Amino acid sequence: MTVRISGITVTPVAFHDPPLLNATGVHEPWALRGIVEVSTDDGLTGLGETYGDEAHLAMVRAAADALLGTDPYDLHRIGTLVAECVGSAVVTHQHGLTGAGSNQKTADGVFSAFEVACLDIQGKAAGRPLVDLLGGPVRSAVPYSAYLFYKWAAHPGGPEDPFGAALDPDGIVAQARRLVADYGFGSIKLKGGVFPPDEEIAAVRALAEAFPGMPLRLDPNAAWTPQTSVRVADELDGVLEYLEDPTSGIDGMAEVAARSPMPLATNMCVVTPDHLPPAVARGAIGVLLIDHHYWGGLRRSTQMAALCRTFGIELSMHSNSHLGISLAAMTHLAAAVPNVNHACDTHTPWQNGQDVVAAGALRFSDGAVAVPEAPGLGVELDRDALAAMHEQYLRCGISRRDDTAYMRRFHPDYQPKTRFW
């Protein structure tokens, strides 16, 4: 029986984002995403979620046109058509928090949204949850970590958000208490690279005291030199389960890893398959934070996971600001991969209930999300919410995430922090 893709819509959306601080600046008041709906001539629709920056969306739209008439089971052909559309283009995320841009990463990022939607269709056609297309579940619920951010109480000129300020160890511990109480998280990640390393060490120590025995991570997004990274690693020996991207580049990470008491993790220096051989050869990383949005979808992520297992690299999962389609995809993926042995990152709490998917399919219990059992991704679009968030996109005045430019509106001399301390 032949099935063909008969329609694809790409809808940019915007949702409120708190003023979360990182090594490149501060989150703008709106986070952008692209929602992809792929429909087939036999009446099924699959969902995908991707980045919302204009340049990326232009490529997603161009690829969407090229995919009409293709078979949603023929993911190799879809990959080829996407690569042809992308050509030699390189789209980079201005914030740089997910490492350098490349042509491969650009094509993989466009492909991913369609791959997830096609797998959603395949699952619906088979009457099976998506996880079954990835080899079946090795866990019935996926643990996520409390993702802490230093933050302002409010966007300048705006109302205070429900999370309040977190600018010192007390604020960070209070934020952690709130997230752990509300979601039941059993691991904690602090986004660092905001304050001098000693202040962030103090915050991690305060977390260790407040949550004895809880796995902790610190991620300064390469804000430190290798020398500083080694010092911080030494000071936090026995406190961190892993240290994420303390410095930049495979060489820099390898230099730190050789002297660090805990494993180093990355979502910055290994971001396409060609980075893995040198990272393995140099012993640069112990944990990879996989992210299907830029690793070319869910199946390619499972292939990377298998490679990592071969080389003794453990897995966690990376997250940018996202909505429920992504959370569902991340949950199916992590449920199907045996060596996701650390709680995954998610920005979900920072959405504060905003979503394009109907409530109910994705719930946190004891810090974990149960794998949806309905066919495909197991989530349905809330069309009213989608329309409202699209309106927000049209009115928000942001078409590309730029944490540095936003920070400079309030601190004109601000410099992003790469190997700064």
Ligand X SMILES: O=C([O-])C(=O)C[C@H](O)[C@@H](O)C(=O)[O-]
Phi, psi of 99 (to 5 degrees): 85, -175
Structure tokens at 30: 């709106």
Which residue of 36, 59, 75, 97 would you call a contact of ligand X, by CB under 6 A?
A: 97
Query: Could you tell me the smallest distance in angstroms from the CB atom of residue 214 to Mg ion?
Result: 19
Using CB atoms within 10 A of its CB, is residue 394 exposed (0-12), middle (13-18) or buried (19+)? Answer: exposed
Rg of the chain over CA atoms, in angstroms? 20
Of 124, 191, 347, 417, catalytic? 191
The site map against ligand X for 355-384 (x = CB under 6 A) is ------------------------------
Residue 122 binding: pick among Mg ion, ligand X, none (C-beta 5-8 Å cut-off by kind)? none
Burial of 188-198, coded b for 16+ CB within 10 Å and e otherwise, reads: bbbbbbbbebe
Q: Indicate whether 343 belongs to the interface with ligand X (CB under 6 A).
A: no
Residue 160, number of CB atoms within 10 A of its CB: 12
Alpha helix stretches (DSSP H) within 68-168: 75-86, 103-126
Contacts of ligand X in 156-215 (CB under 6 A): 191
Which residue of 40, 98, 175, 248 would you call a contact of ligand X, by CB under 6 A?
A: 98
Instruction: Give contact residues for Mg ion (rule: CB under 5 A).
Output: 219, 244, 267
Pick between residue 124 and residue 292 the one whose CB is nearest to ligand X. 292
Query: Could you tell me the smallest distance in angstroms from the CB atom of residue 246 to Mg ion?
Result: 10
Q: Indicate whether 221 belongs to the interface with ligand X (CB under 6 A).
A: yes
Pick between residue 49 and residue 219 the one whose CB is nearest to Mg ion. 219
Of 151, 293, 318, 347, catalytic? 318
DSSP 172-232: HHHHHHHHHHHH--S-EEEE-SSS-HHHHHHHHHHHHHHSTT--EEEE-TT-S-HHHHHHH
Residue 5 binding: pick among Mg ion, ligand X, none (C-beta 5-8 Å cut-off by kind)? none
Q: Indicate whether 266 belongs to the interface with ligand X (CB under 6 A).
A: no
Find residue 316's DSSP bridge partners. 289
Which residue of 124, 231, 318, 322 would you call a contact of ligand X, by CB under 6 A?
A: 318
318 as an active site residue: the answer is: yes
Cα-based angle 418, 396, 10 (whole degrees, multiple of 5): 90
Q: What's the first-to-final CA gap in the chain, in angstroms?
A: 60
Active site residues: 191, 318
| Contact residues for ligand X, defined by CB under 6 A | 20, 22, 97-98, 191, 219, 221, 267, 318, 320-321
